[in-house]
Amino acid sequence: MNRSHSFWTPALLTCGLAVGALAFSACRQPVEQVQPPTITDVSSCFWTSSSPRTLFDTSGKLTNTLSFSGSGSSLAVQDNSITLQCQTLKDSVKASGFAPGSVIDLDNYSFFSDADTQVSIRPKISAAVVANSGYYAATDHGIWSHTSSVWQQDNASAPAINLFAYDATAKMLYAATLSGQVMQKSLATGSGTWSTLPVTPGPLNAMIVYKGSLYVAPAGGNGVSVWSTASQTWNPLATSIGDEVTALFPYSGSYPILVGTAHGKIYMMSPSDGLSPAAPALNCNSRINCFLAFNGGVAAGTNIGLYKSPHGSDAWPLINTTAPIQSIAQRVGKYNDSGKSDPDSLCFISSGKVYWVDTSGNPVPARAIPTGLPALGFVFESGSVNSTVATELSLCVRAGMIGATWISPTTDSIPYQHSESRGGLLLLRSDRTNDNDSWRAGTLVTSKNWKSYAITGRIREHLDSLHITNGSVTKSYPDVLVVRYAHELAGAIPQSDAIPYWVVYYAKGTGPIMFDKQEGGMLTRRQLQ
């Protein structure tokens, strides 16, 4: 015989017992219960892009208004002000974005993670600069500074940053965010704070300081803009280029700014918007990513290799075809690992690896470059990556380290941080629809103490039907899966003293119809009405 449950609401439930009537339709011995048929398509037990729905607590108070959008297996659920991202497949249903107040109600300072356990990680560096005799690094855990022999968090809430530039004369540090803002901080006194320029230039490909002025190359644009402190505006320059500018570099002479474009053209620009020559110095039909001025001329890193031009020449021969090149530096008259003096050589980064060549582009014997750490770029004293010639440079790697010398990364690295990578729950599996079936659903992390708890999804019951009575109205739902998500102790007993657990009722053809949360001996319920 199949099983049927009935609930009368509104009813306040505490400790799992209803103050009201809870009716069971069960079988008497010796009649054997019959297991409902296996659900082979669990997406049929979840919501679809249908009309909005509302959930109420047991006192009849509205708790959640749900609306749906999406197509195919992707479903976005707007849960009040919270957006849940759901993937509904025939064999599984997964959802992420749960937060305090959502249908699966999380406590403050808690989140679900896809990782099995909470681990500490090195912050990932996205940009770095040497400024005011110290390092500054933008990471996925804010901005960090290294100005007094130790890394310290400079701005914990900084948005994602892709570029730095430093004005050594004014001691002003600039940072460009991925969202298109430019932030600034004075390093003159040691007590400066970050502020945002009042006008947003948009996402940037490049940013440099030349003689006290800030120059930027907007992504998708066809020129360069310079910031006017007096008028608090961005003034466009080099608009006649007609191509997206992807690299800038402070050089010398009457046209002291090198400009590289998305289609492989190199121009020389003056601060007054003059371009020389009228035709581009190089036209290689490949994106220019970076520049470097060195003893033997100027080098350009592109998506097809390394170009070099002697000082005062318009010729740009291709000297090395390793690609793409993201950053270039020079080692001047230093000793190699065998203690012998070697000639001037160039060093560049391609796909996270460090390569050495002489100034003619020929490979140089391998140096003791750190292995196993993807390299981001080279950091220079007077600016950000690829700013000027220097005899002692630093190698920046993404794993939270910046090399103090050529030979190895410094052991004084950005401290490990807790991972805040958010994930979701594996809500349903088509091969787990019978009573007591279980699976690893996710991990609950509490950021107050950074402990992590494995969450198990378990089929508590597979009901033939569920009846919910609200006043004089009774609604019946056939074929209902009752699933608990809990951190289980031995014997599949949920631990609810320290952390909560949740029970969700999934009705085939309708989706989730009721959500229970058990915590500290108290049960709260949200149900479809």
Alpha-helical segments (H) within 263-315: none
pLDDT in tens, the chain (529 residues): 356 665 545 433 333 323 333 333 433 334 444 556 678 899 999 998 778 899 998 888 999 999 999 888 999 999 999 999 999 999 999 999 999 999 999 988 899 988 776 666 677 788 888 888 788 888 888 898 887 777 889 998 899 999 999 998 999 999 999 999 999 999 998 888 999 999 999 999 999 999 899 999 999 887 899 999 889 999 988 777 888 999 999 887 777 889 999 999 998 888 876 676 666 778 898 999 999 887 778 899 999 999 998 877 778 999 999 999 988 877 655 544 454 455 567 878 888 777 888 878 888 764 545 445 566 777 654 433 333 333 344 556 555 555 544 333 443 567 777 777 788 999 999 999 999 999 999 999 888 777 888 999 999 999 988 888 777 778 899 999 999 999 987 666 666 556 899 999 999 999 999 999 998 888 999 998 7
Contact present, 384 and 54 (Cβ < 8 Å): no
Instruction: Spell out the residues 6+ positions from residue 328 whose beta carbon is closer than 8 angstroms to its own.
Output: 290, 291, 292, 299, 301, 306, 346, 347, 348, 349, 378, 386
Instruction: Spell out the residues 6+ positions from residue 90 whose beta carbon is closer than 8 angstroms to its own.
Output: 40, 41, 42, 43, 430
DSSP annotation of 239:
G
Query: What pTM did the predictor assign?
Result: 0.63
pLDDT of residue 80: 92
Return the closest-CA partner of residue 433 out of 382, 481, 368: 481
pLDDT of residue 6: 58
Distance separating alpha carbons of residues 510 and 184, to the nearest angstrom: 53
pLDDT of residue 39: 84
Q: Name the amino acid, one letter, at 365.
A: P
Name the helix (H) or strand (E) containing 184: strand 182-186
**Strands 451-470 and 4-9, bridge-based pairing:** parallel
